[in-house]
Amino acid sequence: MKTCSVARNLFVALLMLMTMHESNAQSTRSSTVAGRSTVYSPRGTIATSHPLASGAGLEVLLEGGNAFDAAVTAAAVLGVVEPHMTGIGGDMFAILWLAEEEKLLGLNGSGRAGSLMTLEEMERRGHDSVPIEGFEPITVPGALAGWAELLKSHGTITLARALRPAIRLARDGFPVSPIIADQWAGEIEKLRRNPEATRVYLPDGQRAPVEGEWFVNADLARTYQTIATEGPETFYGGTLGKTIVDHLAENGGFLTVDDLKKHQSEWIKPVSVEYKGYKLWELPPNGQGIAALEMLRILEPYDLASMGHNSAQYLHYLIEAKKLAYADLAYYVADPDYMNASVDDLLSDRFTMSRRAKLNARGAAERPDPGELITKSDTIYLSAADEYGNMISFINSVSWEFGSGVVVPGTGFVLQNRGTGFTLEPGMANTLAAGKRPFHTLVPAFVTRTAEDGSDEPWLSFGVMGGSMQPQGHIQVLLNLLIFDMDLQEAIDAPRFRHIDGLDVALEAPITEVSRAGLRSLGHNLIDWNPHWFGGAQAVMKLERGWAAASDPRKDGMAVGH
């Protein structure tokens, strides 16, 4: 009876949401790219980039599970329905608000370079950079270990229960959603270069599945079932891990069984900066979250509201702050065991003032970067909250689209190419070394506000997926909320810029021609950019009572609650 009741409640919740979205489609906000409404709910909520993942997470919440249970369940489903973005072949990071302890906690679920992956070996093979595809850029996948650690430490359900919806979808199939179908089609040539990737991801060996086409991944269903039965140990040194390592060894890869056995997720302390009574929290290196914090510090004294939202002056200040922060990101940030500068150094008053002094209000800087920008990334982000007051900001990725492009026969999932985050230039903080964590683009975010007693209280769990778009997306969404008083969905919908490199900047279509002309006059070069690459945000906000949630129309996902 309980199962029937849960299924009925889930159906009603989804039906109400679809009806609400359909009615709101009648009156699109002129300042935004879509017309969705913020989703409000009294008990719990989850926002992901795919409806099936949101539904699976909501089902867990309806059964009494917590936000962390729902996040892992949704992440496993996303590994099935968004295989080009995420899966157990990648890494993960999370920021958790533990309601009972009133504590913010971070989890670093990224893997390290294999013990055979050395600078000398890359040079011997004739590489001047880590290859983008194939067996060489594959590092230890940390996602599955991160999921297991999250459930073990703070969840209420088993990993087997969390994997159940994903197993069902992979085994029985699902219709592919439109944005994912379009992105999948862009990777056909990459998938064709690996025979097993071709077999698994291209239905007839020549094309990607189209919108609405039924897709089945029986191999992934079996892999998930093996993990559910044997535990994550099968991946980290057990039967599944040995299968992966043997295949990589035959094809020039660098991982060993011992590398998998040694892998551990790490609980870490998030770092923050204050802004107008709020604190933006990011994870410390080896991720790029510090860039968002530095951007916010640089922008702090400016009267951004008077400039006007997405005016040329406003966009110019944000773009130039981004360039400065990313210059420092490229030069200083790496595995923290190898960094020469601390987070405190990079966020200090003295350092911030020196960087702010380089922001030219009258013209665009061509290249303040001391080195080239490091990597791109294709990612899923989700956020969840429960009736107990817990919140989670969660991100998972295989790095580039379909990662390395390598699928080990019989496993049904792609392995990440996170090794592309290393540089082969000797003597840099991020120079490749065996057993070292690469620079990472994955950055979940969290915002607290100052309570009357001076303590930090949870306010917002959010993220903007999309490689280097993430920190600049964090700042745009956050300023929409704090400076321009948008509601949560409006803040996500609002058109964005993406600084690419040098003077090149891409703008979403709704940004006015007046702003475009103003940016050109300041020296910015406006370029066309794939509309899919302005990021995909999900967010959950704590209200005085209940929750607000929003999902980015740039993705196929949705926010749901109960």
pTM of the model: 0.91
Positions of the chain with pLDDT lower than 70, given as ranges: 1-35, 369-378
Residue 438 contacts residue 453 (beta carbons within 8 Å): no
Taking only Cα atoms into account, the Rg of the chain, rounded to an integer number of angstroms, comes to 22
**Closest among 208, 251, 183, 211 to 554, alpha carbons compared:** 183
Whether 526 contacts 520, CB under 8 Å: yes
Any idea which residues carry the catalytic annotation?
Answer: 379
pLDDT at 34: 56
Q: What gap in Å lies between CA 421 and CA 444, rounded to an integer?
A: 18
Residue 33 has what pLDDT?
A: 55
pLDDT at site 2: 45
DSSP-derived secondary structure for 104-156: EEEEEE-----TT--HHHHHHTT-SS--SSSSTT-----HHHHHHHHHHHH-S
Token couple for 187: 């990777």
Contact (Cβ atoms closer than 8 angstroms) between residue 426 and residue 452 = no
- Give the pairing of strands 45-48 and 558-561: antiparallel
The answer to whether 164 touches 131, Cβ cutoff 8 Å, is no
Answer yes or no: are the C-beta atoms of 214 and 175 closer than 8 Å. yes
| Helical axes 349-356 vs 312-332, angle rounded to 10° | 130
The structural domains of the chain, ordered by start, are: 36-267+378-421 (no CATH), 272-376+443-561 (3.60.20.40)
Phi–psi pair at 371, nearest 5 degrees = -150, 170
Structural contact between residues 44 and 387, judged by C-beta atoms closer than 8 angstroms: yes
| Closest to 555 (Cα-Cα) out of 66, 125, 48, 76 | 48
Q: What is the pLDDT of residue 454?
A: 86
Tokens of residue 219, six digits: 């191999």
The answer to whether the CB of 263 falls within 8 A of the CB of 142 is yes
Where b means 16+ CB within 10 Å and e means fewer, 420-440 reads: bbbbeeeebbbebbbebbbbb
Q: Which pLDDT score, from 0 to 100, does residue 462 have? A: 97
Query: CA–CA separation, 283 vs 350, rounded Å?
Result: 22
Q: Which of 417, 514, 433 is nearest to 467 (CA)?
A: 417
In 10 A of CB 383, how many CB atoms?
33
Long-range CB contacts (within 8 A, 24+) of 453-460: 455/102, 456/104, 456/279, 457/542, 458/97, 458/99, 458/104, 458/389, 458/391, 458/542, 459/278, 459/541, 459/542, 460/539, 460/540, 460/541, 460/542
Identify the CA nearest to 88 among candidates 213, 263, 254. Answer: 263
Pick the closest to residue 557 from 82, 162, 210 (CA basis).
82
pLDDT of residue 377: 52
- The pLDDT tens digits for 391-437 are 999 999 999 999 999 999 999 999 999 999 999 999 888 999 999 99
Q: What is the pLDDT of residue 341?
A: 83
**Predicted pLDDT at 28:** 33
Exposed / middle / buried, residue 296 (Cβ in 10 Å: 0-12, 13-18, 19+): buried
